[in-house]
Amino acid sequence: MNTSNNITESEENYWSRIEKSVLAPILTTEMVLGVLGNGLVLIVKIVCKDHYQSLYWLPLLSLTLSDFFCSILVICGSLLAVLSDGQISPWCEVVSLLKFTFITSSIGSVAVLCVQRFMGIPSKGKSAMSIVMAVACVASWCIGAIFGAVPVVYDWIRYDPAEMLCAVFWESSYSDMLVYILCAFSISIFIPLLLILFCSILTYLGFGKECSSQDDLSSITPLLVIVYLFCYAAFAVSELVLLGRLDLSPSPKWLRSLSSVMAYLDCCLNPFIYCTNKGFREAVFILFWKKWRSTSTEPVLTGITTLEI
């Protein structure tokens, strides 16, 4: 019996080492690309904002901030958890709260962007609808923080090696889980998702107000939506599997790992999507050109001497 247990433990340790050798490079790549890519996008949006057209800059800025902080905090936390085989409190609870906050803020930002493009509401200006869109962006962050804090308050947080961070584990009753997930998903996920699909389809069919050209940065919106839905599909399936299990058992380990890796992938892909816009690419080139010109050594005229003939 002891021999059987030893063999089982050795097999688990072997597969744990295999998973670590695969996941660590993937998470490292996603973290580096996410931090550097979104950091560069933020710098371009602040320093070179006059070199490209962006009528709907607020939700795009909110999305970039969400991706940047997710890369530097949540992905980094997952990488450290893989390398150290766990997370300790209170960092465990903080990362769990931040992950849900960033998921909610990102889908909320994409939803606001789709609504603005469909209705033709630019972020610039002091109109009532522009203010409403700004409030909606801020509300997506607040709602995410509220729903992320609920499991922390009720002590539902446990470290999950499959998700590579602390996640919600249900040990009390199915009704508690059902109420929380339905409330969280209907308010912070389902409603923004409906707005994204509804406005995207109508805009594609030509029913939206044409107030932006292909040169505007918002032209990347369809690609943002497609990549977002693709990357978060595994996360949605994982939660649906959990809802279908009355014994409160989590979804399969491979599905939970895939949902985290794919969610992180969205953070590091968005900077490349920004660069598909011609005006934004030119702004990036201008930023590096200014940096190179400022560090290059050129002869400087310091004085003029008059020669008498």
Residue-level pLDDT at 9: 44
Indicate the CATH number for domain 23-284. 1.20.1070.10
Summary mean pLDDT of the chain: 82
Of 128-137, 174-183, 280-289, minimum mean pLDDT range: 174-183
User: Distance between alpha carbon 116 and the CA centroid of its chain, in Å?
Assistant: 20
Confidence class of residue 104 from pLDDT cuts 50, 70 and 90? very high
How confident is the model at residue 145, as a pLDDT? 92
Residue spans per domain, the chain: 23-284
pLDDT at 298 over 60: no
Across the chain, the runs of DSSP E, i.e. the strands, are 157-160, 165-168
Residue 309, pLDDT > 50, answer: yes
The pLDDT of residue 183 is above 90: no
The answer, yes or no, to whether residue 14 has pLDDT greater than 50, is no
pLDDT digits (tens, 9 = 90+) for 234-252: 888 887 887 777 666 777 8
Residue 99 near residue 148, CB atoms below 8 Å? yes
Q: Write down the pLDDT at residue 2.
A: 43
Mind listing the pLDDT tens digit for each residue in 201-244? 988 888 776 555 677 888 899 999 999 999 999 888 887 887 77
> 207: Cβ–Cβ under 8 A, 6 or more apart, which residues?
118
Cα separation, 155 vs 149, in Å, equals 10
| 3-state SS assignment for residue 125 | coil
pTM of the predicted protein model: 0.84
Triad 111, 68, 265: Cα angle to 5°: 75
Distance from the first to the final alpha carbon of the chain = 109
| pLDDT for residue 50 is more than 50 | yes
46 CA to centre of own chain: 20
Q: Is the pLDDT of residue 41 over 70?
A: yes
Tokens of 180: 């929380």
